[in-house]
């Protein structure tokens, strides 16, 4: 009870101080020749105000594929749900908020709920997911992966644009990049702009094939300071910061590997680095 009041108090303090860009994430991926040994790597740094917890949860639906996900069970002014994961078929998805559209406007827009859950439960590949996404509505960004390819999906209020790679890298933050959708940006926050430039440089200036360990190193990058880095500390205890890191390695053969770092407020850091097959069978 005491902790609940503390988290509510933090959130109210943040709201009264009008802290911007609370809904932030950095997404990046590599595939094909860009990954050591082939396959794909995708990653997400999840940034939010420290007013809720997260957990790794295994889902075994009566119909559909089993999957392991980063899950938000509850929180103040935040919807519970899946924020990214990987299923038994080796298909993975991570998401980012289109926070360049002001929150009040975005919440009034029609949107498909449970997108990540539906994709993980019903899709075995990027191609299957892209077909399903055509029927989804509402602004958001998605990064998809299987062992053959990666894809970024920019979803505007009405239109979608997909970028696919069979080899190479893709990345995204929290504003629209594609010219046909950039008119949806009410504003581009300094953090989203800074993180986009930094992740672009880290991926494009790296000459060797990427590994899980290299992606973990990237996830900890603090080049742009407390509030604008890929790994955000926050310049005061109530500002947006990195609450979790999720990285998924999908090799050409065998089980994907899941790395998750969870930084729940007022708790010790948790790290999971295990084969997905083991997580699905043991939890």
* Phi, psi values for residue 170, rounded to 5°: -140, 155
| Secondary structure class of 85 (helix, strand, coil) | strand
CATH number, domain with residue 21: 3.60.60.10
Average pLDDT over residues 190-203: 98
| Residue 282, C-beta contacts closer than 8 angstroms, at least 6 positions apart | none
Cα separation, 224 vs 201, in Å, equals 13
Q: Which helix (H) or strand (E) holds 195?
A: helix 190-204
Reported as a pLDDT band with limits 50, 70 and 90, residue 74 is confident
Chain mean pLDDT for the chain: 92
Q: Interior CA angle at 81 toward 80 and 84, to 5°?
A: 140
Q: What is the largest CA-CA distance in the chain?
A: 51
| Secondary structure class of 270 (helix, strand, coil) | strand
In which residue are the tokens 């993975």 written?
92
**Contact present, 96 and 140 (Cβ < 8 Å):** yes
Tell me the whole-structure pTM to 2 decimals. Answer: 0.92
Instruction: List, for residues 219-260, the tens digit of each pLDDT value.
Output: 999 999 999 999 999 999 889 999 999 999 999 999 999 999
Q: DSSP character for 32?
A: G
Cα separation, 27 vs 271, in Å, equals 19
Domain of residue 129 covers: 2-282
With CA atoms as reference, report the closest residue to 82 among 124, 50, 49, 44.
44
Half-sphere exposure in the Cβ direction for 179 (13 Å, CA): 0
The token pair that represents 164 in the structure block: 């696919």
Q: Which residues partner with 155 through β-bridges? A: 140, 160
pLDDT at residue 17 in the model: 37
Q: Which residues partner with 82 through β-bridges? A: 71
CB atoms within 10 A of CB 248: 28
How far is the CA of 130 from the CAs of 64, 91, 279, in angstroms? 17, 12, 26
pLDDT at residue 88 in the model: 98
Question: pLDDT higher for 151 or 51?
Answer: 151
* Phi, psi values for residue 27, rounded to 5°: -115, 140
**Contact present, 200 and 32 (Cβ < 8 Å):** no
pLDDT at residue 22 in the model: 60
High-pLDDT (> 90) share of the chain, %: 88
pLDDT at residue 8 in the model: 44
Instruction: List, for residues 84-97, the tens digit of each pLDDT value.
Output: 999 999 999 999 99
Average pLDDT over residues 18-43: 87
Instruction: List, for residues 208-217, the tens digit of each pLDDT value.
Output: 999 999 999 9
pLDDT at residue 149 in the model: 98
Average pLDDT over residues 99-120: 95
Our count of domains for the chain comes to 1
Reported as a pLDDT band with limits 50, 70 and 90, residue 282 is confident
With CA atoms as reference, report the closest residue to 26 among 246, 265, 274, 255.
246
Half-sphere exposure in the Cβ direction for 105 (13 Å, CA): 12
Instruction: List, for residues 145-183, the tens digit of each pLDDT value.
Output: 999 999 999 999 999 999 999 999 999 999 999 999 999
């Amino acid at each position: 009870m005491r902790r609940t009041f503390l988290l509510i108090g933090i959130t109210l303090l943040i709201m009264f101080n009008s802290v911007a860009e609370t809904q932030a994430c950095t997404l990046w991926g590599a595939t094909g020749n860009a990954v050591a040994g082939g396959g794909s790597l995708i990653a997400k740094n999840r940034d939010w105000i420290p007013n809720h917890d997260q957990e790794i949860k295994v889902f075994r639906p009566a119909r559909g594929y089993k999957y392991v996900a980063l899950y938000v069970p509850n929180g103040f002014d935040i919807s519970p749900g899946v924020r990214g994961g990987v299923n038994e078929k080796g298909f993975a998805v991570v998401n980012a908020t289109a926070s360049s559209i002001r929150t009040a406007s975005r919440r009034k827009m029609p949107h498909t709920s449970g997108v990540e859950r539906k994709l993980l439960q019903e899709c075995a590949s990027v191609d299957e997911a892209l077909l399903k996404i055509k029927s989804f509505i509402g602004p958001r960004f998605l990064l998809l992966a299987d062992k053959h390819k990666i894809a970024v999906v920019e979803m505007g209020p009405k239109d979608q644009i997909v970028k696919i790679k069979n080899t190479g890298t893709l990345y995204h933050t929290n504003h629209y990049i594609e010219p046909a959708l950039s008119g949806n940006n009410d504003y581009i926050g300094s953090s989203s702009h800074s993180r986009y430039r930094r992740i672009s440089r880290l991926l494009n200036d790296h000459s060797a094939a990427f590994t899980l360990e290299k992606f973990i190193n990237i996830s900890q990058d603090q080049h742009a300071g407390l509030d604008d880095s890929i790994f955000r500390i926050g310049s005061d205890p109530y500002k947006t910061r990195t609450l979790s890191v999720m990285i998924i390695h999908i090799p050409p053969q065998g089980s994907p590997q899941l790395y998750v770092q969870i930084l729940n407020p007022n708790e010790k850091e948790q790290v999971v680095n295990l084969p997905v097959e083991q997580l699905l069978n043991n939890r």
